[in-house]
Structure 1
Amino acid sequence: MVKLATAREARLYGPALAVRRWEYVNAGVYAFAALLLAAGLGALAAGGGARAGLAVAAVALAVVAAVNAHDLVAHLAGVDWRVGLARYDAQLGLVEFLVPALHAAGCVLAVAGLALLVSQGEGGGYSSYGKEKHAANMLLAAALLWLLGSVLNSCQVYERADGQAQLLQSSVQVPLLLGSLLFLVAAVLNRRRVASSWRRELVGRSWAWLCLLGSLLWLAAALLNVLKVFMMHQSDALRLEKLRGGAQERLSRDREGRVPLNWEDAARRRALPSDLR
């Protein structure tokens, strides 16, 4: 899930107008991709063209992967690419860095699995069954990554932010977590269906309907995320969170260029006699 508009001071990864523009674009593209995913899965669940629905879902997940990749790059740029700061602030590594990486990796696996299903032949040969089995495994791995990312996303703790910021954040986290859980249940059922059946169906109906419900929850999370971005830009009452464990101070000193000077000054002082220090 996109996390550009967080309550962190470290999100200042560019000029103010550029930051606002990219956060709106990020949230809007994610909402469009979630809507596209729900449309593709809805057509699949309604019994429409299976390959067309799977292709639309694959395109939507590719867009979601791109948004999460951009989200990860933006968070890295927000701390000047200093990944080592995650040693001092666990949430920086587990939430800002790992969550978009997990969701992007899950989307890549899901796109690969859907591509295998789309390319599956009409016959019932062993080759077709092998593609379906590999696709089911990829979809299961993708759902596991999404669920892990959603759980980590729900672990973000605010200390300075007011109740409005925390409510907005929770309104995105909860449907995202429930949707990821439904995707996992659907993937498990689909994997069992593939392992125990030789019927030549691209996907099971239960998988299609559960994935549709999961995509609708993702769409709700995406729309609430747009609301969150808007509210956080419009309200002046929101207090921004600092990086914890001294990470904010290290980042600030590095940006102000005082760290090398302090080191050089300390070295010069150690070289001077004690009465001249």
Structure 2
Amino acid sequence: MVKLASARESRTYGPRLAQSRAEYMNAGLYLFSTIVLICGFAAEFSREPRSGLVLMLIALGLIILVNIHDLLAHLAGIDYRFTLMGFDPQLALVEFSVPLVQILGSLLLFLGILFLFIQAEKGYGFFKLERHALGMLVAGPVLWVVGSIHNSCQIYERADAHVQILQQSVHIPFLIGSVLFMVGAILNGREQTGVIHHGLQLLGKRWVWLGICGSVMFMIGGLTNVVKVFKMRQMNGIRLEKLRGGAQNGLIEGREGQVPLISDDDLRRKMEVDEVKAATAATPTPYKDVLLART
């Protein structure tokens, strides 16, 4: 997943206090959703396995909301100026496409579980939903894997090494968890081939156990993401990467009148230079120096 506190100095989509609050809430909500997802898979071994499906639907719904928030925050960080993607490929290939792929994957997995839940509630009356559900249980994690691989391979060349370590500490657990979900769905599909099962019987134990392991990896990624958000919010954007090419200039021009065009350090230096110039201009020129200059 792409999180809000990515290595971008230009990440400005609101007042600093509101921005920090949004990122903390976003990270905490995702961590909570992973815990609910673990409980949902564990409930499949209980006497009421349908309650586990309900918990999974709640968790996936929260994950979809988190990724939608991430996508909108990334677009707000560039003032929704899609033309800037032509200057910096990372904007299109990572910060826009990855959250979108994660949303689609989560939505497919949500619909697959929803179809199985409907099938169980209706007494196995809609057998066509079962085939679609099994396909969605595979397609959703596949999209997760694609997005996680793309996100993990991203390298911030101009960012601080500590920032990149924080980034990868979140991306790697997400990648491992996505792979576990994909493997579990594929093995479950092959296990159901040639066997007449309906409803909750379509969910084998391998799928449940690998789902628990994948959810645990997501929870680890959520914990490290909370740490990353806290650390990066304390950096004040000093060691983060800027937009490349003409994207940074275009973004600054688009934000003229909304946010300061120069940082506090630059403003302080400019004030010192102005003070020196003013002091030099106010110093009277001695009469002797004027005579020598004329000579």
User: Given the two structures, how large is their TM-score scaled by the length of structure 2?
Assistant: 0.81
Q: Which moved more, 1:233-242 or 1:138-147?
A: 233-242
Counterpart of 2:193 in structure 1 is 195
Counterpart of 1:103 in structure 2 is 102
- Tell me how far apart the structure 2 counterparts of residues 128 and 12 of structure 1 sit (CA, whole Å): 48
- Tell me how far apart the structure 1 counterparts of residues 121 and 76 of structure 2 sit (CA, whole Å): 47
- Tell me how far apart the structure 2 counterparts of residues 121 and 35 of structure 1 sit (CA, whole Å): 24
> Contact (CA 8 Å) 1:102, 1:149: kept in 2 or not?
yes
Deviation at 1:106, TM superposition (A): 1.1
Q: SS of the counterpart of 2:10?
A: helix
Letter aligned with residue 79 of structure 1: I
Counterpart of 1:227 in structure 2 is 227
- Tell me how far apart the structure 1 counterparts of residues 121 and 12 of structure 2 sit (CA, whole Å): 52
Letter aligned with residue 173 of structure 2: P
Counterpart of 1:215 in structure 2 is 215
Deviation at 1:129, TM superposition (A): 3.9
Letter aligned with residue 78 of structure 2: V
Unaligned segments of structure 2, at least 5 residues: 258-295
Counterpart of 2:170 in structure 1 is 172
Letter aligned with residue 134 of structure 1: H
> Contact (CA 8 Å) 1:33, 1:64: kept in 2 or not?
yes
Counterpart of 2:160 in structure 1 is 162
- Tell me how far apart the structure 1 counterparts of residues 122 and 67 of structure 2 sit (CA, whole Å): 37
State the number of aligned residues.
Answer: 255
Counterpart of 1:11 in structure 2 is 11
Instruction: Name the CA shift for 1:221/1:48 in 2 (closer, same or farther; >3 Å).
Output: farther
- Tell me how far apart the structure 2 counterparts of residues 175 and 49 of structure 1 sit (CA, whole Å): 30
Q: SS of the counterpart of 2:193?
A: helix
Q: Is residue 2:85 matched to residue 1:86? A: yes
Percent pairwise identity: 48
User: Looking at CA atoms only, which structure, 1 or 2, has the larger radius of gyration?
Assistant: 2
> Contact (CA 8 Å) 1:95, 1:153: kept in 2 or not?
yes
Instruction: Name the CA shift for 1:157/1:241 in 2 (closer, same or farther; >3 Å).
Output: same
Once the two structures are superposed, the pairs formed by residues 66-85 of structure 1 within 5 Å of their partners are 66-85=65-84
- Tell me how far apart the structure 1 counterparts of residues 47 and 8 of structure 2 sit (CA, whole Å): 44
Instruction: Name the CA shift for 1:63/1:238 in 2 (closer, same or farther; >3 Å).
Output: same
Q: SS of the counterpart of 2:251?
A: helix
- Tell me how far apart the structure 2 counterparts of residues 40 and 146 of structure 1 sit (CA, whole Å): 19
Instruction: Name the CA shift for 1:48/1:167 in 2 (closer, same or farther; >3 Å).
Output: farther
- Tell me how far apart the structure 2 counterparts of residues 85 and 130 of structure 1 sit (CA, whole Å): 44
- Tell me how far apart the structure 2 counterparts of residues 192 and 123 of structure 1 sit (CA, whole Å): 25
1:37-61 Cα offsets, whole Å, 9 max, x none, are: 11111222x3442211011011100
1:105-162 Cα offsets, whole Å, 9 max, x none, are: 111111111111111147996x554322211111111111111110111122112322
- Tell me how far apart the structure 2 counterparts of residues 149 and 51 of structure 1 sit (CA, whole Å): 29
Q: Is residue 2:63 matched to residue 1:64? A: yes
Alignment RMSD (CA, Å): 1.9
> Contact (CA 8 Å) 1:69, 1:104: kept in 2 or not?
yes
> Contact (CA 8 Å) 1:133, 1:194: kept in 2 or not?
no
> Contact (CA 8 Å) 2:30, 2:62: kept in 1 or not?
yes
- Tell me how far apart the structure 1 counterparts of residues 99 and 229 of structure 2 sit (CA, whole Å): 17
Counterpart of 2:246 in structure 1 is 246
